[in-house]
Structure 1
């Protein structure tokens, strides 16, 4: 597979271009047909190529879709390691990007955060509250005006929602999270760097503690 990826790079092949035939690839890399087919199967799984009968392999770019599929297996129990990794990632983005948050912050951003938090408080179920909670954090990340980060959060949504639902099953999901979010909004509005980072880190840490403690 690595050799074929190197071939794509070296020949500057782009989306829509055809790869050499199976026989040509066997000759070029002095390998068996089974090896080439296995490499194609893996590239297809990663969303890099599409293989069709009588057409051969064509380069595509469905890597984001494949990553989304991976994170969509939210029926699998979330481990403590996964939880810690996801919360650590969120800390890097949401907590440590405080300076960029303040530079980009507008009244519209604050209004979106307030609306998402109000929706969470009025939610009737844990699932509804978790959707609104996710909307709050998407609005928070949106302040950074970075499309790639927003796409990553959307890809990770099933896992993040699973984490939120787990946390809300162990605390009052209408008031505790609402109050924590409100503290974040207040610090943002005041451009209070220390209180913003404290409030948001505290919020994420409480989520981890409720997960680790268990039922």
Structure 2
């Protein structure tokens, strides 16, 4: 009888762990986010507190959560990012690395937009609308380039989350700092140029309307065209600067 009781406890703990894992993979619980208290989990799952504790123990053993005294449990960073420090250096020193990253964004975000338009729920569209409206509202205010970049990135990330493809979402999350750096490059170099800024605003509007309107092909096209346009504009700015340097050297007699 005791063995049966222990087996049942393990089964319930497995169920608790599985349900929390599902929340993590669906990005409902994000890296660094605190889990609800044991009491709240007990109420939500309809199990005993001991079952919740055992379930959390399983998640800790799997490296999915981290627990500290007095602070409770948080979702662990599931994607190790040791490469990002050197990559961030390359992005700041080698323009080609930025263009390569924009190429990756084109592939991932194009598919994200298509899936979001296909699979997005009413709740997803509410969140995407909020992020879009926050981005639009910030343009009429005195907002730093970094703050605008974060709002811009949040809009694109909300679309990705609406794809309901956990692997795609976690892949983009693992590249979060790198992706934000590419958005910052766009904001910092293009937003103060009136023509390019208006172009980006129109592209964001097309992307938003296509996803909310549940038009997969148009959403994919809008996302891809947006990233390609950003890359082309950044390359043009780089070439402008190179022409200016060459002309200045000739003027100074270095040719």
Aligned residues: CA RMSD: 2.7
Counterpart in 2 of 1:193? 216
For 2:101 and 2:158, the matched residues in 1 are separated by 18
TM-score (norm 2): 0.52
Matches within 5 A, 1:115-126: 115-123=130-138, 124-126=143-145
Aligned CA distance change for structure 1 residues 177 and 116 (closer, same or farther; 3 Å): farther
Counterpart in 1 of 2:188? 169
Select the structure that is richer in helix.
2
Aligned CA distance change for structure 1 residues 180 and 98 (closer, same or farther; 3 Å): closer
Counterpart in 2 of 1:127? 146
Deviates more, 1:77-86 or 1:163-172: 77-86
| Structure 1 segments of 4+ aligned residues over 6 angstroms from their partners | none
Structure 2: 5+ residue stretches without partners: 1-76, 242-255
Q: Is the 8 A contact 1:78 1:163 kept in 2?
A: no
Counterpart in 2 of 1:71? 84
Aligned CA distance change for structure 1 residues 109 and 206 (closer, same or farther; 3 Å): same
Aligned CA distance change for structure 1 residues 79 and 63 (closer, same or farther; 3 Å): farther
**In the TM superposition, what is the alpha-carbon distance from 1:163 to its structure 2 partner?**
1.3
Structure 1: 5+ residue stretches without partners: 1-61
**In the TM superposition, what is the alpha-carbon distance from 1:84 to its structure 2 partner?**
3.1
**In the TM superposition, what is the alpha-carbon distance from 1:171 to its structure 2 partner?**
2.2
**In the TM superposition, what is the alpha-carbon distance from 1:63 to its structure 2 partner?**
7.9
TM-score (norm 1): 0.60
User: May I ask how many residue pairs the two structures share in their alignment?
Assistant: 153
Q: Is the 8 A contact 2:102 2:227 kept in 1?
A: yes
**In the TM superposition, what is the alpha-carbon distance from 1:138 to its structure 2 partner?**
1.2
Say whether 1:138 aligns with 2:153.
no
